[in-house]
Structure 1
Amino acid sequence: MRRPGVRRSLGYAVADWIEYYLLHGPGDVQGQPIELDVEILHFLACTYAVGADGRRRFDEVLLSRAKGRAKSEIAGAIACAEALAPVRFDHWAEPGEVSDWGYEYQPGEPVGAPVTYPFIRCLATEETQVGNTYANITYMLAHSERIAEDYPGIDIGNDWQTSTRVFLPDGGEIRPSTSSSAAKDGGKESFSVADETHLYVLPELRNMYETVERNTMKRKAAEPWFLQTSTMYAIGEDSIAERTHRNSKAGAAPRLYFDHKQAPAALLEDEAYDDPVQLKAGLIAAYGPFAAHMDLDRMVALAHKPTQDRAKFRRYFLNLPVSLSETWLSRHLWERCALPQEVEPGELVTVGFDGSDHDDCTAITACRVSDGYVFTPRFPDGRPMVWTKWDDGDPDAWRVPRAEVKAGMTHVFTTFKVARAYGDPPDWRDECDDWAEEFGMETFLIFETRVATRMCPALDRFKTSVLTGEMTHDGHPTMAEHVGNAKPVRRPGGLIAITKPAPDRKIDSAVTAALAVEARADHLRHEAARDGGSSSFTGY
């Protein structure tokens, strides 16, 4: 057995158990025997290191690797071992001692025993799925003939793909949990795993993690521990992964093992990133032995596409921490707020409009006043009120169909009760004047998005409503793309505006959504001031 240098560890026997019993989970090598590379072997040796008293050295472990490094599969294999294998110290090996599956212990090496009543929790970020780790667990347990022979009686339900809980033959279980269920089940965990903790940025996900983390202190004899797997986080989102890394760097968590591999930090600079040789070498450094399984030349080509978001590429594939200064609002945060629903005709709404002539997107966005639900209005035939040069025809000759846009605005005003509408006038000044005259100058108002003191607070309000989870929206893909494209830019006075990171990466419907949300806030403030008899209202 390969031994990468950790003297006292149950990890070598655990690694051998994984290779003997388990098969690769869903993917290109599905069903093939697992052979751990030296980097993951070292990770297991450190993760299962024990002290002179035989007890675990680490209660919390984070495996930080680039996207595609099979982190979820590694976590799934560890979970299977925690359920069945000898993973807690029992005694020190005698000369010639051999495990039940044929592993030859070195004299004095720690020998393990299975956990009594293992309770394993797999945390998932969504109510509608149980996570990649759990899918690997159920596949591995369902398809290993050696598991079936040596550990009869495992119950995964009818099918590994639809399993919702695994019952273990001698008592215990493996359970996937979401934020709504983790807090309800008490605290019996002997092992918990959280996949992709760079996504744990919303309050309910942080609370879920912290609840289960507290539970891991309740079973002293079982020596519970917590495993995180993650790609590198965005600095400033305060994700669980970022918090864990911060604790590690500060030396504030002596029983935390943080295992991180990344490309050289020089690749945070565009000069090195633009060099294909340096970029490929960085990918090799980030992926380690697993680089042999990656199409590095294709990844380099992807990195250099004009439309590539470099901040995201650096995070996902080079595993480098990237400052939020390069991204205004993470797309996954926006997508978490999607809750598509019908808005009934006659509802009170506010409207945002941003128009172009031939290049940028033109969009109309609405916001329901009662609850702040943001949506893209549609024509009676179902077409959304978003117009881009890629819709049809020749992009170079395309022009915004102004008559259609004007018909769309009329349809919105006749279908809904519009409390207030904000329109950005460049290229559409005449139309904005016409709408103000048609719909009322106190209802349709000019909103100059180029004025930082006006637009930046609107953007801040919009972003805050997403970060706090207060906003819901219809999940329109164009708006999701535009929100994800937006790049922050600092204005005088510390104000933050947004801009396009490249000419063909549009942000227009993110702007219209912010205008619609700001119009709602101003309307509500105006109504509150009027009802209260205040004469100091200056909202518009």
Structure 2
Amino acid sequence: MPWRGPTYPGELPTLGYQVLGWIADNLIVPDGPAAGEPLEFTDEQAMFVLQLYALDPNFEGPAISGRALNNGRRIRRAVLSRPKGWGKSPLVAALCMAEALADVVPDGWDADGEPVGRPWTSLGFKAKVQIVAVSEDQTANTWDPLLEMARNGPVGDNYDIEPMEGFVNVPRGRIEPVTSSGTSREGFRPVFSAMDQTESWVPSNGGRKLAGVIRRNLGKVNGCSVETPNAFIPGVGSVAERSFEAWKKQLEGKLKADEGLLFDHREAPPETDPADEHSLMNGLAVAYGGSADRHGGWVNLRRLLNEYWDPDTDPQDARRYYLNQVTHATDSWLSQPEWAGCAAPAETVADSDPIVLGFDGSRKRNRGVTDATALVGCRVSDGHLFEVRVWEQPDGPAGDDWEVPVAEVLAEIETTFRRRNVVGMYADPAKWESHVAAWEAKYGHRLRVKSSANHPIEWWMTGGRANAIVRATRSLHDAVADRELTHCGSSTLTRHMLNARRSESRAGIQIRKEHPDSARKIDAAVSSILAWQCRLDALAKGDLKPERTGAVYFL
């Protein structure tokens, strides 16, 4: 029998209800005032479990056909990003126990069309579960509460398990903490991996390599992983950051046939003011959700406020650990809260709205990853920035020998000028000199705002223009910091903005990549600086009333 079908819009079948029931029947609260009581989750935590065990409504079952395992679960990797003390570790510890013992493998539907599960061991698999981190201290976050649950809860009476200090034996399986380099775990076949504090899994400590090995191993048996990071720092290349970027690509449809990533992140609103008690308490309450004492939970927000304000607490660390805000690298040009505070993704730009454009182009590189090519627009009336299009080298084999599709770029420029009311465009002509010259010849006469009389579009971001570049860069930075603009919220535009690093020069601050061959591109940020400067020059013209002549709009 197939699934019964949704009872409300957007409903998906899930084994999560059965998993939650199993946890309440078999596991206990590991410590604190409620220690020893049945483990029950907040609504927020329970919702994560329901999403994690969501099923494909078209899955027919059974779990196995012949020698092949059929995969009915939608999620193959998940990220649960919450502040310290929220309860990530007991939750994931409980999931480790459930994956080793409970009916977590979808096997079809019962007579009422509800999902049915079975344990891993019933399929002939050894229920191997890992708690993985790059240091022993990190694995202890999840391992310690797991041992308490295994040793003191009803699960020990209901199942033949053997909780030891360094592992837990379960029928035909094992749960164990692991700290390892990626190469030494190749070939291992876990059914579930808990990956703790992946914001600190970076290339220098082997974390990125380890994550890749774990995911390959899980793929052998249709297993699942859950990351439990605190807020990551943009630009360090951590596993948590790359998972975030993959999730954004999934939302925008840039991943081929893949909806298998669940990214559950909650942070304080970007307008939270740490210097204002009321604002900070409200921000903490949002970040901690149902775990906050204000909402009936166990986290004392007043104590966290005092920790936040402790003079020995680094302000950036406080934002990450207590507000769960993605902040910035020490040399970042913009912080994530600053940029997020200007987001207005619901804002639309009409074709008749006077806009200006910023363009930064690239060509094939001999080493490293080819720079992106970006076209960014800005509405003159209110300074709303939006991505028109960004061309980036694809990841993996698809990116081998990739070059910027010049014909596509030229077609996009032509379409934008034909469809929209473009009143100005500034373009860095480096490596695009002939194309910029052609645009000037074709469109220069209709532009209300011009870089110069002889070159209405050409606006160099290199060379002997340091003072002008610094002024333009500072103008956009100040507009973001003072919330004098809004932006479309595009993940690509956001990524490029947060990738930008401050570069000191005699004239002042400019922006650069983290290093010349970095794969973390900033071309959309450069295009935004150009678009914003063009907008300021448009405002200086003084005449902002749109009027239409034929198919072309003018200011």
TM-score (ref. length: structure 1) = 0.53
Contact kept? 2:83, 2:231, Cα under 8 Å: yes
Q: Deviations over 1:62-103 (max 9, x none)?
A: 001111111011100000000101111123133xxxxxxxxx
Q: Where do 5+ consecutive residues of structure 1 fail to align?
A: 95-106, 158-162, 329-487, 497-540
Deviation at 1:238, TM superposition (A): 1.0
For 1:90 and 1:289, how far apart are their aligned partners in 2?
33
Q: 1:204 aligns with which of 203, 206, 214?
A: 206
Please give the alpha-carbon distance, in whole angstroms, between the structure 2 residues aligned to 1:288 and 1:77. 20
Q: Distance in 2 between matches of 1:495 and 1:164?
A: 55
Out of 121, 124, 133, the position equivalent to 1:124 is 133
**Separation in 1 of the partners of 2:49 and 2:243?**
19
SS of 1:193's equivalent in the other structure is: strand
* Aligned match of 1:151: 159
Query: What is the deviation of 1:132?
Result: 1.7
Amino acid at match of 1:309: D
Q: What's the % identity of the aligned pairs?
A: 32
Give per-residue Cα distances to partners, 1:122-169, cap 9 Å, x unaligned.
10222577432122222211111x2122212x1223xxxxx2222212
Q: 2:307 aligns with which of 302, 308, 312?
A: 302
Aligned to 2:390: none
Deviation at 1:299, TM superposition (A): 1.9
8 Å contact kept, 2:139–2:196: no
CA apart distance, 1:275: 1.5
Amino acid in the other structure paired with 1:289: G
Asked whether the 8 Å contact 1:179–1:205 carries over to 2, the reply is no
Equivalent position SS for 2:219: coil
Aligned residue number for residue 71 of structure 1: 88
RMSD: 2.6
| Cα deviation, residue 205, structure 1 | 1.9
Residue aligning to 2:219: 217
- Corresponding residue for 1:398? none
Q: 1:135 to 1:32 in 2, by over 3 A?
A: same
Q: Is residue 2:143 matched to residue 1:134?
A: yes
Q: Secondary structure at the match of 2:176?
A: strand
- The aligned counterpart of 1:235 is 234
The AA in structure 1 aligned to 2:77 is E
Residue 450 of structure 2 corresponds to none
- Cα 1:125–1:296 change in 2 (3 A) is same
Amino acid in the other structure paired with 2:215:
E
User: After superposition, what is the alpha-carbon deviation per residue over 1:401-428, rounded to whole angstroms, capped at 9, x for unaligned?
Assistant: xxxxxxxxxxxxxxxxxxxxxxxxxxxx
| C-alpha spacing 1:187/1:274, structure 2 compared with 1 (3 Å) | same
Work out whether residues 121 and 192 of structure 1, in 8 Å CA contact, stay in contact via their aligned partners in 2: yes
- Provide, for residues 220-258 of structure 1, a one-character-per-residue CA deviation record: whole Å limited to 9, x for no partner: xxx211111111111111110011001111223521010
Contact 1:234 1:321 in 2 (8 A): yes
User: Over residues 38-73 of structure 1, what are the superposed CA-to-partner deviations in whole Å (9 max), with x where a residue is unaligned?
Assistant: 111111111000012060001000001111111011
Point out the more displaced range, 124-133 or 225-234: 124-133
1:300 deviates by 2.0
Among residues 29, 48, 55, which one is paired with 1:24 in the alignment?
A: 29
| Mapped partners of 2:239, 2:36: distance in 1 | 32
Q: Distance in 2 between matches of 1:290 and 1:129?
A: 21
- Segment of structure 1 superposing worse, 205-214 or 224-233: 205-214
Residue in 2 aligned with 1:190?
Answer: 191
User: Residue 50 of structure 1: SS of its match in structure 2?
Assistant: coil
Assess if the C-alpha contact under 8 Å between 1:59 and 1:224 holds in 2. Answer: yes
Q: Which amino acid aligns with 1:172?
A: G
Q: Is the 8 A contact 2:12 2:55 kept in 1?
A: no
Q: Against the structure 1 CA distance between its residues 83 and 263, is the aligned structure 2 distance closer, same or farther, given a 3 Å change threshold?
A: same
Residue 6 of structure 1: how far off its partner (Å): 4.1
CA contact (8 A) 2:185 2:214 kept: no
- Report the Cα offset of residue 14 of structure 1: 0.3
Residue identity matched to 1:238: G
Query: What residue number does 2:517 align with?
Result: none
Change (3 A) 1:275 1:326: farther
Counterpart CA distance in 2 for 1:277 and 1:129 is: 33
C-alpha spacing 1:321/1:86, structure 2 compared with 1 (3 Å): same
Q: Is the 8 A contact 2:182 2:209 kept in 1?
A: no
Corresponding residue of 2:175: 174
Cα distance between partner residues in 2 of 1:129 and 1:277: 33
Q: 1:493 to 1:274 in 2, by over 3 A?
A: same
For 2:26, give the aligned amino acid: Y
Report the Cα distance in structure 1 between the residues aligned to 2:13 and 2:157, rounded to whole angstroms.
Answer: 30
Confirm or deny: 8 A CA contact 2:138 2:197 kept in the other structure. no
* Contact persistence 2:27–2:38 (CA under 8 A): yes
Q: Contact (CA 8 Å) 1:62, 1:227: kept in 2 or not?
A: yes
- 1:392-451 deviation line (CA, Å, top 9, x unaligned): xxxxxxxxxxxxxxxxxxxxxxxxxxxxxxxxxxxxxxxxxxxxxxxxxxxxxxxxxxxx
The answer (yes or no) to whether the contact 1:188–1:218 under 8 Å persists in 2 is yes
Confirm or deny: 8 A CA contact 1:183 1:208 kept in the other structure. no
Question: Are the structure 2 counterparts of residues 129 and 250 from structure 1 closer, same or farther at C-alpha, using a change threshold of 3 Å?
Answer: closer
The secondary structure found in structure 2 opposite 1:63 is strand
Write the distance in 2 (CA, Å) between the matches of 1:307 and 1:140. 35
The alignment's TM-score, normalised by the length of structure 2, stands at: 0.52
Q: Give me the whole-angstrom Cα distance separating, in 2, the residues matched to 1:322 and 1:129.
A: 22
Secondary structure of residue in 1 paired with 2:17? helix
Residue 504 (structure 2) aligns with: 491
How is 1:264-275 mapped onto 2 (pairs within 5 angstroms)? 264-267=269-272, 272-275=273-276
Matched, 1:43 2:48: yes
Change (3 A) 1:304 1:132: closer
Matched, 1:57 2:77: no
Match of 1:131, SS? Answer: helix
Q: Specify the alignment match of 1:424 in structure 2.
A: none
Letter in 2 for 1:206: R
Partner residue, 2:283: 282
Distance change (3 Å), C-alpha of 1:228 and 1:188: same
Describe how 1:160-171 pairs up with structure 2 within 5 A. Answer: 163-169=165-171, 171=172
Counterpart in the other structure of 1:263:
268
The code of the aligned residue for 1:211 comes to V
Q: Is the Cα–Cα contact under 8 Å of residues 183 and 211 in structure 1 kept in the other structure?
A: no
Alpha carbons of 1:39 and 1:257: their partners in 2 closer, same or farther (altered >3 Å)? same
CA distance in 1, matches of 2:311, 2:177: 40
Q: Which amino acid aligns with 2:200?
A: L
* Residues 359-370 of structure 1 mapped to structure 2, 5 A cutoff: none
1:210 and 1:181 mapped to 2: Cα distance?
8
Q: Report the AA paired with residue 148 of structure 1.
A: G
CA distance, structure 1, for counterparts of residue 320 and residue 303 of structure 2: 17
- Match in the other structure for 1:389: none
**Cα distance, 1:319–1:85 mapped onto 2, change above 3 Å:** same
Paired residue type of 2:504: R
Which AA in structure 2 matches 1:18?
Answer: I
Secondary structure class of the residue paired with 1:216: helix
Cα deviation for residue 19 of structure 1 reads 1.1
Contact 2:77 2:262 (8 Å CA) reproduced: yes
Once the two structures are TM-superposed, the CA of residue 15 in structure 1 deviates from its matched residue by 0.7
1:28 Cα deviation after fit: 5.0
